[in-house]
Amino acid sequence: MKFALVTGGSRGIGRAVCLQLADMGYNILINYKANEKEANNTKILIEEKGLLAEIIQFDVADRAQVQTVLTAWIETNTDKTIEVLVNNAGIREDALMMWMKDEQWDNVLNTSLGGFFAVTRVVVNSMLMKKYGRIINIVSLSGLKGLPGQTNYSAAKAGVIGATKALAQEIGRKGITVNAVAPGFIKTDMTGDLNEAELKNIIPLKRFGLPEEVAHTVGFLASKGAAYITGEVISVNGGLYS
């Protein structure tokens, strides 16, 4: 049975990615950190499509917890294979650098960059044995361009972009592709505090994007048709950055 693991699959872009991959025939392993209710809602939506959905709770920033929980799942589910991994879990804790607290720096780096490392390190082993896999990392315009007030977030996402390119070269010969998707402003809880009416003026397409629009690109990278794309970053940002 083929599964896709989506970190932060309880809400926002992660939920849309879960549904997109289910539409492509994947059973889904939904990870979340705290919001069990929303993880359950994602599960129900997947099951309505006739696919299997399992919830796996862990904090991607907690390396030991990731190792224990994910390894246990892999060892007890020998009939199931994680063929697609989407490293989506991420947080924002914006502050100007001169006022940034240690926790703001650490939390953001440990979640996006640390989470990528902790989860991928475990999952890639079984992909290497199967000689097939798709790893897709959700990064950000902020990691490409840098955004003021987000030195922590820009650093975390730029770090994941570098790791994407390095890992793609390490494991390409084993039939595993590693790519990143860099959204601009997408309508989710994460951007709920931003003023779309004002910010849309700087976006060529004059609106925020939808989680489903990011999920379609993830779906493409997870598809067989994307077999010759690796180490790439695809922007989904309404033309905001070029």
What are the residue numbers of the active site? 153
* Cβ-based nearer residue to ligand NDP, 2 or 145: 145
DSSP state of 65: H
Question: Comparing C-alpha atoms, which of 172, 84, 89 is closest to residue 136?
Answer: 84
Number of Cβ within 10 Å of residue 197's Cβ equals: 7
Q: If you ran DSSP here, which 8-state letter would residue 114 be given?
A: I
Among 20, 26, 28, 33, contact with ligand NDP (rule: CB under 6 A): 33
Pairing of strands 133-138, 176-183: parallel
Q: How far is the CB of 172 from ligand NDP (least distance, A)?
A: 24
Q: Does residue 202 belong to the site contacting ligand NDP (CB under 6 A)?
A: no
Tokens of 199: 């910010």
Q: Tell me which amino acid residue 44 is.
A: I
Determine the straight-line distance between the first and last CA of the chain, rounded to whole angstroms: 40
Residues in contact with ligand NDP, shown as a per-residue x/- string from 102 to 131 under the rule CB under 6 A: ---------xx-------------------
* Nearest residue (CB) to ligand NDP, 133 versus 183: 183
Residue whose CB is less far from ligand NDP, 72 or 227: 72
Which residues 128-147 are close enough to bind ligand NDP by CB under 6 A? 138, 140
- The footprint of ligand NDP on this chain (CB under 6 A) covers a number of residues equal to 31
Count the helices and strands in the chain (H runs, E runs). Answer: 9, 7
Q: If binding is defined by CB under 6 A, does position 14 make contact with ligand NDP?
A: yes
Both structure tokens of 31: 């990870």
Residues in touch with ligand NDP (CB under 6 A): 7-8, 10-14, 31-35, 38, 59-61, 88-91, 111-112, 138, 140, 183, 185-186, 188-191
